[in-house]
């Protein structure tokens, strides 16, 4: 498939159908490039205004699928010619969608794609050309990526380009516009990847890329997708029952020259699978000894579920996962299961793990149904340790839980599912079943223990929102106030909030739980105490806490002018001013507020309303007024006593004028004092 030629970069952009990225690239959204698109990221002409004549294109990411921003940074540092690498990235105002979208600009490859994005049937490749022009250059690229500990996770014919017009040097395509492995066919995924939901497959390791490379060789060699026409469930089941090599090769005859390579790459045990060094030696002509994976323990008699005889623990786990949790729970608690596991299968490690699964209890389990679902999930991990965490309707790699949570939020799904996975400590149980280095296990456990603490903390800045941003670096802020502004870095936060206030999206408090959590992750200088003021019972404290937080953002990142926010806080200043006890202070603060608002500075407004000096003076005035009030009370008591004496005298003398004079004197003393205190 040929790449559509790029328009002349010197063409005028006055049509208005462009948007500028980082003051360097003009993206023409009226000039699509279908030949360069990714599955959910359309491609458009991108013009480098600083270097005219160069050939670039932009991919516009799906806002419902978080991109791999950590991978972007690694690629930009690596600067490999063997993989599409973003030259520039960032959010842009995307008029066709009436929102901000995340854009990535790449250099256009000189060659075209190896195959169309949806082409399963392609022209078969010869053995020699396949090795020289595809396998060898891709292995070199994978070596570069491996040094950065960056799995590509998108190796397939439709995502491979050529660096040259003669199609002699293959290069890897996009691996950053969506979660890793999202658009991979189940055929190209390992058994573990095939069992997981597509968006939760996780980054994994280079071992997944090498497996996909093996499938690619098969695909190009025979010109058709292995297992074509089979359902995803059938493909995964065949891989489990027969092994990936035999399930994918089926009845086809593999050339002798490639048989060794394919057998080395399509091993299901990642420890026995060939590594990059093994492939290099094979390319150099050295004959390799295939590593023999430990064979799965097979029971002499299968465990029957739905008419299917399960002879291995992994196959049994697959069949149990196909049942409803309550049905699976009854099977697990039945006598036949225990007998088969302990006596027929006879795998001591599996027996111990299942005993641990049954003895583990979680306080998070809500009723019998929750306990059963958690039990089933743990038993599945005991039976098939490398498989993803399977819980209710979710199936996620341990490093795909962040994507599960993020996509659930982005699509309005039920957050109880990822919350239960964390609360039930399923990632910790999975980690302990891997048998990897103890340090790796403990690091994973500590991380998820920390996420559980965040989840249980209901203060602003924590909760499920904090967990999402901690587990999915680069996830843009998902606050309903500003989600469409695509805020993925702190410098864009205040402009987005200002935009929302101006658009009347925000009319009360401009900081919700998502914004607070986003700030909590990316701003170490913000104290938790300040975040806690956002839900304080006192309205004045809430207003001041919000104002102080946004003032910090304006000081640190700008922008210098936020007129809508200033007006919003001006309207909310009343409870803050009413904290002052002196009538004169309140009147003076209200009068001065108008001038402060005109300065358009959140910091000046915060300092004005939250002035420690004014509060100190007001406290001093109040203390002084209290003393004067106490003195007045004494004077009133004395005047009352004198009034009594005068009344007695008046009564004795029969002179009523004295009583009236005494009353007037008392009233005058009280009135003058209260006026001086600012009460009247």
pLDDT tens digits along 468-477: 999 999 899 9
Q: Is 181 left (phi over 0), alpha (psi -120 to 50) or beta?
A: left
Q: Is the pLDDT of residue 650 over 80?
A: no
Q: Is 474 left (phi over 0), alpha (psi -120 to 50) or beta?
A: left
Q: Is the pLDDT of residue 679 over 70?
A: no
Q: Is the pLDDT of residue 201 over 70?
A: yes
Percent of the chain at pLDDT > 90 equals: 76
Radius of gyration, alpha carbons of the chain:
35
Q: Is the pLDDT of residue 484 over 50?
A: yes
The pLDDT, as a whole number, for residue 541 is: 93
The pLDDT, as a whole number, for residue 117 is: 77
Count Cβ atoms within 10 A of the Cβ of residue 23 and give its class: 0-12 exposed, 13-18 middle, 19 or more buried: exposed
Q: What is the DSSP string of 348-413?
A: HHHHHHHHHHHH---TT--HHHHHHHHHHHHHHHHH-TTSPEEETTEEE-GGGHHHHHHHHHHTT-
- What domains are defined for the chain? 14-107 (3.30.200.20), 127-283 (1.10.510.10), 303-456 (no CATH), 483-610 (no CATH)
Rounded to whole angstroms, the Cα distance separating 511 from 517 reads: 10
Model pTM above 0.75: yes
The pLDDT, as a whole number, for residue 3 is: 37
Q: CA separation (Å) from 225 to 124, 201, 231? A: 11, 21, 13
- Greater model confidence, 627 or 493: 493
pLDDT category at 558 given cuts 50, 70, 90 is very high
Across the range 341-358, mean pLDDT stands at: 93
Other CB atoms within 10 Å distance of the CB of residue 382:
23
Rounded to whole angstroms, the Cα distance separating 242 from 248 reads: 10
User: Which alpha helices (H) appear in 266-334, and where do they start and end?
Assistant: 276-283, 313-321, 325-333
pLDDT tens digits along 146-169: 999 999 999 999 999 999 999 999
Q: Which residues contact 180 (CB under 8 A, 6 or more apart)?
A: 68, 71, 151, 153, 154, 201, 202, 203, 204
Closest CA to 183 of 64, 62, 40, 86: 40
Count of CA atoms in the C-beta half-sphere (13 A) of 444 = 22
Closest CA to 546 of 579, 580, 569: 569
pLDDT tens digits along 651-677: 665 555 555 655 666 666 556 555 555
Q: CA separation (Å) from 450 to 123, 397, 446, 455, 503? A: 51, 18, 6, 9, 38
Other CB atoms within 10 Å distance of the CB of residue 660:
11
Rounded to whole angstroms, the Cα distance separating 96 from 89 reads: 19
Closest CA to 167 of 116, 223, 111: 111
The pLDDT, as a whole number, for residue 4 is: 36
Across the range 54-61, mean pLDDT stands at: 97
Give SS3 for 102: strand
Q: Is the pLDDT of residue 678 over 60?
A: no
Q: CA separation (Å) from 657 to 102, 210, 633, 648? A: 89, 112, 25, 12
Across the range 122-136, mean pLDDT stands at: 96
Count of CA atoms in the C-beta half-sphere (13 A) of 456 = 12
The strand pairing partners of 171, in sequence order, are 161
**Are 216 and 134 a contacting pair, CB within 8 Å?**
yes
Q: Is 285 left (phi over 0), alpha (psi -120 to 50) or beta?
A: left
Q: Is the pLDDT of residue 78 over 60?
A: yes
Buried b / exposed e along 202-241 (16+ C-beta atoms within 10 A): bbbebbbbbbbbbbbbbbbbbebbbbeebeeeebbbbbbb
The pLDDT, as a whole number, for residue 668 is: 60
Tell me, letter by letter, the H, E, C secondary structure of 422-435. Answer: HHCCHHHHHHHCCC
Q: Is 283 left (phi over 0), alpha (psi -120 to 50) or beta?
A: alpha
Q: Is the pLDDT of residue 26 over 90?
A: yes
The pLDDT, as a whole number, for residue 666 is: 61
pLDDT category at 118 given cuts 50, 70, 90 is confident
Q: Which residues contact 244 (CB under 8 A, 6 or more apart)?
A: 190, 191, 211, 266, 267, 268
**Are 203 and 180 a contacting pair, CB within 8 Å?**
yes
Q: Is the pLDDT of residue 5 over 50?
A: no
pLDDT category at 291 given cuts 50, 70, 90 is confident
Phi/psi at 418 (5° precision): -65, -30
Closest CA to 45 of 74, 17, 76: 17
The strand pairing partners of 100, in sequence order, are 93
Q: Is the pLDDT of residue 181 over 60?
A: yes
Q: Is the pLDDT of residue 630 over 90?
A: no
DSSP assigned state of 131: I
In degrees, rounded to 5, the angle at the alpha carbon of residue 538 between the alpha carbons of residues 536 and 541 is: 75
pLDDT category at 585 given cuts 50, 70, 90 is confident
The strand pairing partners of 46, in sequence order, are 27, 56
Across the range 470-488, mean pLDDT stands at: 96
Most confident of 398-402, 503-507, 618-622: 398-402
pLDDT category at 238 given cuts 50, 70, 90 is very high
Give SS3 for 263: helix
Q: Which of 344-348, 364-368, 429-433, 442-446 has the lowest mean pLDDT?
A: 364-368
């Amino acid at each position: 498939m040929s790449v559509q030629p790029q328009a002349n970069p010197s063409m005028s952009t006055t049509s208005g159908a462009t948007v500028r990225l980082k003051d360097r690239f003009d993206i023409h959204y009226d000039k699509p490039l279908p030949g360069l698109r990714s599955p959910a990221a359309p491609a458009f002409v991108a013009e480098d205004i600083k270097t005219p004549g160069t050939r670039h294109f932009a991919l516009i990411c799906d806002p419902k699928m978080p991109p791999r921003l950590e991978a972007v940074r690694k690629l930009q540092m690596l600067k490999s010619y063997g993989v599409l690498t973003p030259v520039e990235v960032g959010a842009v105002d995307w008029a066709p969608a009436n929102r901000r979208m995340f854009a990535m600009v790449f250099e256009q490859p000189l060659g075209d794609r190896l195959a169309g994005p949806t082409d399963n049937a392609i022209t078969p490749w010869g053995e020699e050309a396949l090795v020289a022009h595809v396998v060898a250059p891709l292995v070199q690229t994978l070596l570069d990526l491996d040094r950065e500990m960056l799995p590509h996770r998108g190796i397939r014919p439709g995502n491979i380009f050529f660096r040259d017009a003669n199609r002699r040097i293959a290069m890897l395509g996009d691996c950053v516009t969506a979660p890793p492995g999202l658009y991979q066919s189940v055929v190209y995924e390992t058994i573990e990847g095939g069992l997981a939901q597509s968006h939760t497959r996780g980054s994994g390791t280079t071992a997944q890329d090498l497996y996909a490379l093996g499938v690619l060789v098969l695909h190009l060699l025979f010109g058709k997708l292995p297992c074509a026409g089979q359902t995803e469930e059938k493909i995964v089941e065949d891989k489990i029952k027969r092994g990936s090599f035999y399930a994918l090769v089926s009845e086809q005859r593999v050339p002798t020259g490639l048989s060794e390579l394919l057998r080395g790459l399509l091993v299901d045990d990642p420890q026995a699978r060939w590594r990059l060094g093994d492939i290099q030696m094979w390319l150099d002509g050295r004959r390799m000894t295939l590593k023999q994976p430990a064979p799965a323990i097979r029971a002499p008699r299968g465990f029957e579920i739905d008419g299917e005889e399960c002879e291995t623990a992994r196959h049994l786990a697959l069949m149990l996962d196909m049942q409803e949790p309550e049905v699976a729970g009854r099977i697990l608690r039945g006598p036949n299961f225990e007998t088969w596991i302990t006596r027929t299968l006879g795998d001591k490690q599996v027996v111990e793990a299942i005993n641990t699964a049954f003895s583990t209890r979680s306080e998070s389990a809500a009723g019998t149904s929750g306990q059963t679902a958690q039990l089933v999930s743990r038993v599945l991990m005991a039976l098939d340790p490398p498989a993803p965490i399977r819980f209710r309707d979710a199936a996620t790699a341990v490093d795909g839980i962040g994507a599960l949570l993020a996509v659930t939020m982005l699509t309005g799904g039920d957050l109880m599912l990822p919350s239960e996975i964390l609360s039930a400590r399923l990632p910790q149980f999975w980690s302990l079943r891997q048998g990897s280095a103890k340090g790796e296990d403990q690091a994973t456990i500590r991380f998820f223990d920390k996420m559980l603490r965040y989840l249980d903390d209901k203060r602003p800045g924590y909760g499920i929102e904090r967990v999402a941003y901690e587990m999915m670096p680069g996830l843009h802020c998902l606050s309903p106030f500003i989600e469409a502004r695509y805020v993925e870095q702190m410098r864009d936060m205040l402009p987005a909030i200002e935009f929302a206030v101006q658009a009347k999206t925000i009319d009360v408090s401009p900081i919700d739980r998502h914004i607070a959590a986003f700030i909590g992750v990316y701003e170490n200088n913000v104290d938790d105490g300040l975040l806690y003021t956002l839900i304080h019972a006192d309205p004045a404290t809430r207003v001041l806490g919000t104002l102080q937080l946004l003032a910090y953002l304006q000081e640190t990142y700008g922008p210098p002018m936020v007129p809508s926010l200033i007006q919003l806080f001006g309207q909310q200043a009343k409870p803050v001013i009413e904290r002052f006890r002196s009538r004169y202070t309140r009147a003076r603060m209200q009068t001065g507020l108008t001038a402060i608002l005109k300065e358009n500075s959140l910091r000046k407004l915060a300092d004005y309303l939250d002035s420690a000096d004014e509060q100190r003076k007001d406290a001093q005035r109040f203390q002084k007024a209290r003393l004067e009030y106490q003195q007045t009370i004494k004077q009133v008591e004395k005047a009352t006593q004198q009034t009594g004496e005068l009344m007695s005298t008046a009564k004795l003398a029969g002179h009523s004028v004295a009583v009236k004079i005494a009353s007037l004197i008392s009233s005058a003393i009280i009135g003058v004092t209260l006026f001086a205190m600012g009460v009247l």
